[in-house]
Structure 1
Amino acid sequence: MSNYYDVLGVAQDASAEEIKKAYRKMARKLHPDVNPGEDVADKFKEVSRAYEVLSDPQKRQNYDATGDENGAPAGGGFGGGGFGGFGDIFEQFFGGGAQQGPVSRTQPGRDALITATIDLKDAVQGVVHPLDIETAVTCKACEGSCCQPGTQPETCTNCQGRGQVQRPVRSMLGTMMSLETCHICRGFGNTIPNPCHECNGQGRVRERVTKQLKIPAGVASGTRIHLGGQGEAGLGGGPNGDLYVEIEVRRHKIFERDGNDLHATMPIPMTAAVLGTDLKFETFDGEQDITVDPGTQSGTKVRLRELGVPRLRGSGRGDLVVHFQVETPTKLTDEQRALVEQLAELRGEEHAEGRLADRGNVFTRLRDKFGHRG
């Protein structure tokens, strides 16, 4: 069995706060919602088990003394080989199977994972995004005490605050006393005669709350933002868990993202492609001037430096790449058709025939590379 201190990566004399801090750090990395996988899930269970033992003063004392949270010597005494079931008998009668001392009503809250959907512009520029979520919050009426205001828990009269009671049990060794969890206080050592009306004695209620999430420039779909201590409130006024927000970026009608670069297709008239022109192009950084050179072909690209997506972990930005798409007119007036025919005649193209390009043709290059096999 793994040493619980080694599992959490703390010294044996670590304080309760150090143990809690180590657990939270490891739990964030290993939580199944954040880091799925069978091996990781098993490790998360091991870390959670170690924290459960070391965060409980009585369990930790038993573990330090015997290597077992319940105080039973590891591998020794009557629990060993030749004595058969005597170990189980002693555990039953001396409390090995029961919680040692009262348990706390205060329990930490669970972590939460939600999704925030944003526009591409927000991913490029960053944004403060409102999160409207339903979660558990500490009860304002009782402030997490679980009691109706003006009242407080009372020591359990059945177990006298110990959380366990003894009862006689007959066995082959005679009548012995067995230790079990108090059924009146359920092991807490106290009862709440007047539970809070707002939270029904839970110390927390569910509410819909709005949080403001600061999303940095450069995020992409799948990016997760960690908000420590903003998850669900714990039972009995326990500390909040953590909140993880996964970003989802909507598709844009013009721009497409590739890493930190943005790509866009700009249709241009055939005449502009032939003669050349200057155009205005609206970007996330405002209007930009773009020059179309005379003779521009479909697929020609213009790269606008540093107008892409900022690097999330680093400096600088990607580029904005504009792809020209030359549009051929489909409807011409008689006058326009006559002008085009005149141009074709001047260029000797009135009876143009389809032909492949010469040596630079892609098929020719492939033939030269792999050899003629005809």
Structure 2
Amino acid sequence: MRRLTIAVLLVLTGCSSIADNAVGFTAVDLTAPAEALTTHGDLLVIGTRPTDHPELVTRDKTGTQSNVRLTPATPYGKEAHWYGLASDGTTITGVGGERGGAHGNVRWSAWTGDTRQINEKPQAFSTFGGYGAGELIGVVRTKQGPLIIGSWQSAKAGLDIATWTYAQDTWTRQPSAGTALESSQELLRFPLAVTPNGDGALVVGWQIAKGVVSAAVWQFDGTSWTTATLPDGDAALAARCWDGTCHVVGRSKGKLAWWKSGDQWTKVTTPDIPVSDDADLSAPVPVNGTPTLFIDHNGVKLVSEKDERPADGPTGEVKAAETVGGQVFVIAGERLWRLT
């Protein structure tokens, strides 16, 4: 009996230790599954989608939620999923998409407005679609205005990284030829995510040269593009920049890889976490000053350079993380959670 009592106490003590290490979260009630996040000043902007149409919700620091009026202009805009949201504190820009047509390609929609109303701005079919079209990966606000990032058929080989700028309700694809975004027979480029970086943007992804695959980044300073290869990496999947440093997460030999900017890009040592070839990662965020990645690894975990801690509450694939007003929010399993 005494041995049994000791065994029970040891089990309970172990469970208590695990529970003490867990980070608590509170579910944020929404009327539809969550797909995307951005900030708009001190507001959290949440892209949601019920069964057949997009919605947009704002949440202030008190927890008060408000619906933004959406005005679609095309049949596919009425059915769009959110592929990306961005804001400069004044204007909100969104990219939506829904598959359709004979080939099941994504039919893209572009949205612009503010917290009162966001309108789909219809574009010519050839703007984002048609012969030579690739994919759109997201939208970012820069000092020069919004940029949509994606890919488009290269004049030399494969696909170039492509950029679209916005003026007078029209998105215009900019030439990639002769820039660091252009592919060639010797070097093919593949963008996967984009984030603001100072006055410009940082695009992350992968490239292949002479059969060698490597993680790569492309930086826009507001005028021109430069590129860099990340050390010991196969693909860069997500990124975020703050306080003058960019944090990039991705994959290296089937494991989590993390890089940060400086005089040169350096690889950070992290816990040993598998990342499959088809996995997506959300961008890291600062949690109490520590760069932190939320990832589904036998349950949602908070991963930093130092450790890995379980999240108490969130479950499922992590799609996005965001900080606003000193609060941290995460989309996991299509639900929105707030770190408590």
Structure with greater helix share of residues: 1
Structure with greater strand share of residues: 2
TM-score, normalised via structure 1 length: 0.22
| Structure exhibiting the larger radius of gyration computed from Cα positions | 1
